[in-house]
Amino acid sequence: MAGEHPMTLSDAPQGVPERPPGAAFRGPETASRSLQERLAGHFFRLCAALAALAAAAVAVTLASETALFFAQVSPVRFFTELAWTPVAEEPRFGVLPLLAATAQITAGAAVVAFPLGLLTAIYLEYYSDPRADGILSAALVVLAAIPTVVYGYVALDFVTPALRNIWPSIEAYNGISACLVVGIMILPTVALLSRSALKAVPPSLVDAGLALGASPGRILVRGILPAASRGIAAALALAVARAAGETMIVTLAAGNQARLTWSPLEGLRTLTAYIAQASMGDAPAGTLEYRALFAVATVLFAFTFAVHALGGWLAGGRARQGSVRQ
Amino acid sequence: MKAFRHQGAIAGVCSLAAGVTLAAGMTLLAVLLVQARGVLDFGFLLGAPSRFAAQAGVGPALAGTLWLTLLTAALACPVGVGAAVYFEEYAPRTRATRAIESAITTLAGVPPVVFGVAGLALFARGLGLGPTVLAGGLTLAMLALPTVLATSKEAIRQVPSGVRTAAYALGATRWEVIRRQVLPAAAPAIVTGVTLALARTAGAAAPLLVIGAASFINYAPGTPGDPLTALPTQVFAWSARSQPGFAAVAASAAVVLLALLLLLHLVSLALRRRLSKAAR
């Protein structure tokens, strides 16, 4: 943070020239004016300090409780044991079933959302008329604005019963319903961000393709999509991070049995669902069970952070690539 | 790109995908409205939760969500916008400030449930607040803060630097430049960001669940110290019940929640209109 020096124009933001010397240009230097100036500076600095404090508090809390957890449970057991039974008589803390469930549901959601979202983006950018664009864009905004608990309700009460018509043996809590609905939930993210990636492709690319006599389909597949691929990958990365952190849909639709299974018709329990259900506010502080919440939250934090970083790197790469092109 | 229109199989596949997307949105809303029909009335809006689906209402949950949204706005807006002003207008461009900025904005991508865990340790347990409206409001404020900060920073950055230069040239001090020029010009975009953050927190169930939101509070919270109850967690609690009748109740609560979010967006739209008129 900046030191406690009086406000001078030399520390004005970059792009702002030095104020011309001489008091003639300034308004009257009244006491109230300089007091206001000082108070405002203090207020904004305080706000920034509070924001930084809040961020630090989140990080330190997670880290310290997780450290206490790993003092009792070895990280090797945490990442290699195949059972997660924190409240059993002999509790076992193998995070793999939770991690696998998160990976499965996230992958399933990506399989739903990626083709649908990308094709919708292509439709919006290259094929729609203004009216269809308006309706579809509005639908995407509405889908993006719906709280995830509402999606969860629809998954449990509409999608699972509908799937029972196809697979009568489906369990009340199952992976496939969660995959489908999480996929729909991240669909706006994929579609809207992919569309901006397509928008960023220089029109000259299309003109060049047309001049060479390529068909629109060929221009799309061989020209536009490769040029936009990093942006589209970044869109997918952000959507995947959201899917992995999604809590309410999986808690309601996929259930709370921590198990390793490949069947999409069976229930499973993700990292997020464990946090939501195990806590409910009454895990006694200081117990191993309470600290396990933080360890799981840290794993989730690390996973989404890594995916976000990947997305940011891809998006940054796209910007660099674009500037080289021009 | 008119050359692309109505050509070949790709156009067909893309239109199909767009149709599926549209259908998914329509189905979602239709399911809610069909289920909620017959349950949603004034008695439901004002009544308290009940063991019997026919008598259940969202009164306390609705009041709880209004409280939480007010608290979140009151806490996250001044701090988020103020910090954005500091980082854009005051902070020296050093490596350290940039690192702090990016650390805070990174939190915008952290899943809400993680904030719940942090809020449980910091507010419900650390400050001894327990599962109260205040603990919920503080947690949601932490969730909203990175979004408010990031969008406000972007809004302030969009103000052309010529506006600042001109004001400085006329002899304005830095605070005068911020108050009279930068903030009014950035206000509509700041309101958009704040609305986004508040809509996200008003619909957030997971962090409140982790802190310990109750689903059987039968009186509306009157002070921030009252037990935590909110619409999203109420939707969750009713969805999870298997007794017949509660599906319709859950759908109705979901419709109330969506109506509240719509209202929030409409208020924001009106506010933005006024602000951009005032800025001109």
Q: Report yes or no: B145 at the A interface, CB cutoff 8 Å.
A: yes
pLDDT of residue A322: 42
CB contact under 8 A, B114 and A300: yes
pLDDT for residue A22: 41
CA angle at B80 for the pair B275 and B210, rounded to the nearest 5° = 120
Closest CA to B58 of B233, B180, B187, B192: B233
Residue A108, pLDDT score:
93
Test mutation, B26, B239, B243, chain A, max A CBs within 10 A: B239
In contact, B120 and A281? CB cutoff 8 Å? yes
**Of B117, B26, B235, B125, whose CA–CA distance to A297 is shortest?**
B117
Query: What angle separates helix B133-157 from helix B112-119, to the nearest 10 degrees?
Result: 130
- Predicted confidence (pLDDT) at residue B278 exceeds the cutoff of 80: no
Q: Which of B32, B227, B232 is nearest to B112 (CA)?
A: B232
Contact B32/A at CB under 8 A? yes
Within an 8 Å CB–CB cutoff, is residue B118 touching chain A? yes
Pick from B79, B110, B203: which is nearest to A50 by CB?
Answer: B79
* Homologous superfamily (CATH) for B63-212+263-279: MetI-like (1.10.3720.10)
- What span, in angstroms and rounded, lies between the C-alpha atoms of B39 and B35? 8
Per the CB < 8 Å rule, is A40 touching B78? Answer: no
For the segment B6-21, the average pLDDT, to the nearest whole number, is 82
Q: Band of the pLDDT at B108, cuts 50, 70, 90?
A: confident
> Nearest-CA distance from A305 to chain B in Å?
7
Within 8 A of A312 by CB-CB distance, chain B residues are none
Per-residue confidence (pLDDT) for residue B6, from 0 to 100: 55
The closest of A106, A302, A301, A103 to A186, measured between CA atoms, is A106
Q: Which of B72, B90, B241 is best to mutate for the A interface (most A CBs within 10 A)? A: B90
Report pLDDT for A307: 87
Over residues A19-62, the pLDDT tens digits come to 444 444 455 567 777 888 889 999 999 999 999 999 999 999 99
**Does any CB of chain A come closer than 8 Å to the CB of residue B24?**
yes
CB contact under 8 A, B113 and A276: yes
> What's this model's pTM, rounded to 2 decimal places?
0.87
Q: Write down the pLDDT at residue A308.
A: 84
| B221 membership: H or E segment, kind and range | none
Write down the pLDDT at residue A320: 46
DSSP-derived 3-state class of residue A12: coil
In angstroms, the CA B99 to CA B106 distance is 10
Q: What is the pLDDT of residue A28?
A: 59
pLDDT mean for each 10 residues of chain A (326 residues):
45 48 52 84 94 93 92 88 80 87 92 94 88 90 92 90 86 86 94 93 89 87 90 91 92 78 77 82 74 92 87 67 39
Parse chain B into domains and list their residue ranges.
2-36, 63-212+263-279
Chain B residues near residue A143 by CB distance under 8 angstroms? 21, 24-25, 28
Q: Is B243 on the interface with A (CB under 8 A)?
A: no
ipTM score of complex: 0.90
CB-based contact B232 A149, cutoff 8 Å: yes
Cβ neighbours of A145 (radius 10 Å): 17
Q: What is the pLDDT of residue A81?
A: 82
Shortest CA distance from A124: residue in chain B: B18
In this structure, the number of other CB atoms found within 10 A of the CB of residue B95 comes to 7
CA distance A90 to chain B (A): 25
The answer to whether B113 contacts A36, with C-beta atoms less than 8 Å apart, is no
Q: Which of A19, A132, A156 sits opposite B168 (nearest CB)?
A: A19
- pLDDT over 90, % of chain B: 44
Higher local confidence (pLDDT), B62 or A279 = B62
d(CA B266, CA B246): 30
pLDDT tens-digit profile of B241-274? 877 788 888 999 999 999 999 999 999 999 999 9
DSSP states of B207-219 = HHHHHT--S---S
Transcribe B105-116 into DSSP letters. Answer: HHGGGS-HHHHH
